[in-house]
Structure 1
Amino acid sequence: MPGHRSKSEKHDDGEKQLRRDPYEVLGVSRNSMDQEIKTAYRKMALKYHPDKNANDPKAADMFKEVTFSYNILSDPDKRRQYDSAGFEAVESDNQELELDLSSLGAVNTMFAALFSKLGVPIKTTVSASVLEEALNGLVTIRPLPLGHYVSKRVEKQCAHFYSVTITEEEARAGFVCRVLSSDKSKFKLLYFDQEDNGGLSLALQEDSAKTGKITTAGMYFLGFPVYRLDQTMNSIAAKDPDTSFFRKLDGFQPCELNELKAGTHVFAVYGDNFFKSANYTIEALCAAPLSEEKENLRSIEAQILSKRAEISKFEAEYREVLAQFSEMTSRYAHEIQSIDELLKHRNEIHASYTITPFKRSTSKSRSKSSSKENKEDGQTREKRSTRDRPKKKKWYNLHLRVDKRKAC
C-alpha cells in the first residue's frame, strides 16, 4: 500500500518524506487480528528500544515509528479511520501518548508524572530490560499455588514473576488471577507466553485501577468472552459531561484470551510507579467453586453490552432533542425580553398621559380653591366681627328722665 501523506511531514534536504504505512512498519497484513498486531509490535519495540540502542538515532526513529503505527492499528476506531482515509483521519492534537518511562531521565519522568496527575492519558509500557530478561529466560519465577496469596514489594520498573499450574479439570472450570494494593500503588499485571527456547514473551497486560480505597487488576479465563474497561478512552472528553457519558462504555472491550489450557502459566507484577516501589498481594483461584459468580459476570457483561448499544441509539435522539431545547430556550429568553420591553414602553405612555397632567392640574386647582377659600373666610370673619361688635352710645342719644311734677 502506498504511504499516506501526513500533516506532520518531515523535511529532509528540501524533499518531503511520506510516513510509512503502519501495516508495513509492523510487518503485518491488513486483515491481521489484534493479537498478531500486538505480538509484532512487542517484538519490534523490544528490538529498537532506546535501552538497547543507545546513541543510535535510526533505532530511536524506528521505535517512534513502530509505536505510532501500533497506536493506530491497536485502536479499532483509528484503524477503521486510517483504512478509509489515511493519516489525515487519525492524526490529532489529542492523540494518546504511549511512553516507556524507564527510558526517560529524572526530569522527564517528573514531567510525565505531572501530566498523569493532571488527567492527561499517558500510557506506559513495560521496561525493555524486563522484557528482554524474560525473553532470554533470565528471570526468577516463584511458584504460586492455587488458592494461596503472596504479598510483596516490587521496585519501580521491575517485575516479580510467578508460575501457576492448573489441571484439565481446573482449566475447564476457569481460572482467575488477581492483584490488589491496599496503599493504592500503581502496577501492571502481566501474562507471558512460553517460547520454544524457554523464554517468555508478553501476551497480556492489565493496568491497575482504583477501586474504592485500593488499586486492583485482574485476568479472568472462564471459558466464555470476558471484557475489560479501558478508562483512558474517554478521559480526554471528561471536560464535556455529555460526551463523557456517551463515551463511557467505549472502552468496554473483549479480552484477547478467555481460557487457558492445562499446564504451567507465568504471570508477573510490574512496578509502574514513577518514584516509589509498589506493595501488592497476588492470588490465583480456580473458578470451580465460583459458578454463581461466573454466571453473574456473564449476565452483567451481557447487560453492559446491551446498554452500550442502547446508549449509542439514545445519543442521536438526545442530541436532536437537546438542539431543539437549546433553540426553545433561546426563543424563551428572547420572548421574555420582548414582553418586558413592550410593557415598559406601555407604562411610559401611561405615565406621560395620566400621571404627569393629573399632578399638574391638581396642583393648580388646589391653589385656586385655597385662595378662594381664604378670601371667603376673610369676608366671613369681617362680617362676624362687624355683627358682634357692640354699638357705642352717642352722647346725644342719652335718655334723660324728667320729672314733670316738679316745676322748673
Structure 2
Amino acid sequence: MPGHRSKSEKHDDGEKQLRRDPYEVLGVSRNSMDQEIKTAYRKMALKYHPDKNANDPKAADMFKEVTFSYNILSDPDKRRQYDSAGFEAVESDNQELELDLSSLGAVNTMFAALFSKLGVPIKTTVSASILEEALNGLVTIRPLPLGHYVSKRVEKQCAHFYSVTITEEEARAGFVCRVQSSDKSKFKLLYFDQEDNGGLSLALQEDSAKTGKITTAGMYFLGFPVYRLDQTMNSIAAAKDPDTSFFRKLDGFQPCELNELKAGTHVFAVYGDNFFKSANYTIEALCAAPLSEEKENLRSIEAQILSKRAEVSKFEAEYREVLAQFSEMTSRYAHEIQSIDELLKHRNEIHASYTITPFKRSTSKSRSKSSSKENKEDGQTREKRSTRDRPKKKKWYNLHLRVDKRKAC
C-alpha cells in the first residue's frame, strides 16, 4: 500500500520535496508492533544524532525526519489518524520532541530546568554518547543478584549498568526490577537487548515519577500484560482545560512492550536525568514467585482501570452534551435577567418623567403664579377696604372759610 505523502516546508534547489511516509522512514511495515517501531527509531536516531554528525546538514535533516516519524507512529491515536487520513489528520505543530540534555548548552539547560520546575512537561532522551558506548560494548556492567539491592550515586547524563541472571523457573514466576530515590532525584530505568556482536541496544525506558516522598520507576515482567501511565500527556491536557485533563487522565495508560523475560542474563541501567546534579538511587531485582497475591491484585486493578477508561470515554460524550445544554441555559438565564432589568429600568424612567421632574416644575410654577396673583388681589382688596374704612380728612385747600360780606375788605 503506498504511503501518504504531503508537501514539505523545506526547499531543495527551489523545488518542494514530498514528506516521506513514516513507515518508510523508519523502515518498518504497517503491521509492526510498538517494540519494533521503537527499536528501529532508536537505531536510526543514534545513527543520525547531531552529536555524531557535526556539521552534516543531511544527517541533521534525517534525524529530524526520523524523530518526526516516530512521534506519529509511537502515539496510538496519531498513528490511527495517519493511517486513515494521512498527514492532514496529524497535528504536526503539536508533536513533542525529546531533548538530549547532554547536547544542550548551559543557557538552554537553564531554561529547560526552569520550565520543568514551573510544571511544563519536558521529555528528555538518553544521551547519544551513552547509547553509542553501550552499542559498542564499552560500558562497565556490575552484577545485581536477585533479592539484593544496590545504592549508588550516578552523575547527570551518565549511566550505571547492571546484569541480572534468572533461571527458567524464575522467568515463569515473573521478574521485577525497581529503582527509587529518597531525595526525589530524577532518573531513568533502562533495559537493553543484547546484540549478536556483544553490544547493547536500548529496548525499554521508564522515567521516574513522584510517589509520595520518593521518586520511583519499575519494570514488571509477570507473564501477562502490564501497563504504564504516561503522566506527560495528562500534564499537557491539564494546562489546556481541567475537563480535558479529567477525560484524558487515563489516555497515557498504555501496555508495556515486554510482558516476560526468558531465562538468561539481562542488562538494566540507571540513567541520571537531572539537569545539573547527580542522582541518588537504590536498585533491586526481585523474583515474583513469593508475590502471587500481588500479581493477581495488579492484574485485577489494571483490568478495572481499562474498564473505567472505556466507561469514561462513553461518559465524556454524555457530559459534553449536557454541558452544552447547561451552557445554553446559563446563557439564556443571563440574557433573561438582563432583559428584565432593562425593561424595569425603562419603566422607572417613564415613571420618573411623569411623576418627578415635570410635576415639580409645573407645580412650582403654578404655585408661584397663583400665589403671586392671590397676593396681588389680596393687596388690592386690602387697599380698597382700608380706603373705605379710613375717615375722610379735609385737606388744607378744601377748608371752608367764613366771610362776612358786610365788612368791607
Q: What fraction of aligned residue pairs are identical, expressed as a percent?
A: 99
Distance 2:345 2:90 in 1: 56
Show CA shifts across 1:95-145 (max 9, x none).
211222222333333333334334443322211221122222221111112
1:131-150 alignment to 2 at 5 Å?
131-150=131-150
Distance 1:58 1:217 in 2: 37
1:79-118 alignment to 2 at 5 Å?
79-118=79-118
Distance 1:63 1:401 in 2: 152
Judged with a 3 Å threshold, the aligned counterparts in structure 2 of structure 1 residues 352 and 50 are, in CA distance, closer, same or farther, namely closer
Judged with a 3 Å threshold, the aligned counterparts in structure 2 of structure 1 residues 388 and 88 are, in CA distance, closer, same or farther, namely same
How far did residue 266 of structure 1 move?
1.1
Query: Secondary structure of the residue that 1:279 maps to in structure 2?
Result: strand
How far did residue 320 of structure 1 move?
0.8
Distance 2:358 2:107 in 1: 82
2:306 matched residue in structure 1: 305
How far did residue 24 of structure 1 move?
1.0
Is the 8 Å Cα contact of residues 39 and 203 (structure 1) preserved in structure 2? yes
Judged with a 3 Å threshold, the aligned counterparts in structure 2 of structure 1 residues 392 and 72 are, in CA distance, closer, same or farther, namely closer
Worse-matched range after superposition: 184-193 or 391-400 = 391-400
Distance 1:47 1:181 in 2: 32
Judged with a 3 Å threshold, the aligned counterparts in structure 2 of structure 1 residues 388 and 170 are, in CA distance, closer, same or farther, namely farther
How far did residue 57 of structure 1 move?
2.2
How far did residue 200 of structure 1 move?
1.6
Unaligned runs of 5+ in 2: none
Distance 1:394 1:18 in 2: 133
Show CA shifts across 1:49-89 (max 9, x none).
22222232222222221111111111111111112222222
Query: Secondary structure of the residue that 1:98 maps to in structure 2?
Result: coil
How far did residue 42 of structure 1 move?
1.4
Is the 8 Å Cα contact of residues 68 and 95 (structure 2) preserved in structure 1? no
Judged with a 3 Å threshold, the aligned counterparts in structure 2 of structure 1 residues 54 and 389 are, in CA distance, closer, same or farther, namely closer
Query: Secondary structure of the residue that 2:94 maps to in structure 1?
Result: coil
Worse-matched range after superposition: 77-86 or 243-252 = 77-86
Distance 1:328 1:361 in 2: 48
Query: Secondary structure of the residue that 2:216 maps to in structure 1?
Result: strand
Is the 8 Å Cα contact of residues 7 and 88 (structure 1) preserved in structure 2? no
Worse-matched range after superposition: 290-299 or 113-122 = 113-122
Judged with a 3 Å threshold, the aligned counterparts in structure 2 of structure 1 residues 367 and 396 are, in CA distance, closer, same or farther, namely closer
Distance 1:54 1:241 in 2: 43
Is the 8 Å Cα contact of residues 187 and 270 (structure 1) preserved in structure 2? yes
Show CA shifts across 1:159-209 (max 9, x none).
101111222222222211111111211110001112222222211100111
Unaligned runs of 5+ in 1: none
Judged with a 3 Å threshold, the aligned counterparts in structure 2 of structure 1 residues 11 and 386 are, in CA distance, closer, same or farther, namely closer
1:257 matched residue in structure 2: 258
TM-score by length of 1: 0.84
Q: Please give the root-mean-square deviation of Cα atoms over the aligned residues, in Å.
A: 5.7
Is the 8 Å Cα contact of residues 3 and 19 (structure 1) preserved in structure 2? no
How far did residue 278 of structure 1 move?
0.9
Distance 1:400 1:10 in 2: 141
